[in-house]
Structure 1
Amino acid sequence: MSKRAVLLFAVATAAPAVAHDATPTAAQPNGWTYPFSCCSGMDCREIRDQAVLEGPQGYVIKLTGELIIPRDTRIKNSPDGQFHHCTVAGEPTGRTICLFVPPRSF
């Protein structure tokens, strides 16, 4: 392998992983980037409002029954006003890493 190929390989594999972007919406026409603390490139996705029950006790993820209380640090403000759910390994039934929530009146 040439020195150049070795150097390119070293640079490519040494680069830090980056989080992926949320899909553009009317509120965020250029999309937005999930924070690395929530996403390692595959863990986050937009979910429908109907996938989350909201109430004074917090947010219940319907698919898993997981309750995330309002003071939980996993709750983040959603830049585009939509729900986004980040889970371990990106599995829809995985443990929640972050839940991006739209502004509410609770």
Structure 2
Amino acid sequence: MRGIIFLLVGLSINTFAYAHDAPSGWKYPNSCCSNYDCRHVNQAAISERPQGYIINATGEVLPYSDRRVRISPDGEYHWCSAAGEDNGRTICLFVPARAY
């Protein structure tokens, strides 16, 4: 019985060990990421046009008002795509706050 309890405690500790954080330390929200979908991208990977943000790798357009567009806590671009693929559909896009 003691071995089973130890095993269950060990499993729950390992679950927390796989948290997916941005390189600067903030945690990607569960609504955007399944521990591998999100990653930091260079500014050159995203273009801004009148119609919204363009994911250069896929050509996907996210209007500025799209609910998937979020303000980045560290002021950098982060892209969350299906299965973390470079050609995947966008789940979330974190962008630097706009200066007006």
Does TM, normalized by the shorter one, top 0.5? yes
* Contact map agreement 1:52 1:61 (CA 8 A) in 2: yes
CA shift for structure 1 position 98: 0.4
Mapped to 1, the partners of 2:20 and 2:54 lie a distance apart of 25
When normalised by structure 1's length, the TM-score is: 0.79
* Contact map agreement 1:74 1:97 (CA 8 A) in 2: yes
Matched, 1:70 2:64: yes
Mapped to 1, the partners of 2:85 and 2:50 lie a distance apart of 27
**Structure 1 ranges of 4+ moved more than 4 A:** 15-19
What percentage of residue pairs aligned between the two structures are identical? 51
One-letter amino acid of the structure 2 residue matched with residue 4 of structure 1: R
Gaps of 5+ in 2: none
Note closer, same or farther for the CA distance 1:19–1:86 as it changes in structure 2 (3 Å cut): farther
| Cα-Cα RMSD | 2.3
Gaps of 5+ in 1: 25-30
Count of equivalent residues = 98
* Contact map agreement 1:17 1:40 (CA 8 A) in 2: no
One-letter amino acid of the structure 1 residue matched with residue 5 of structure 2: L
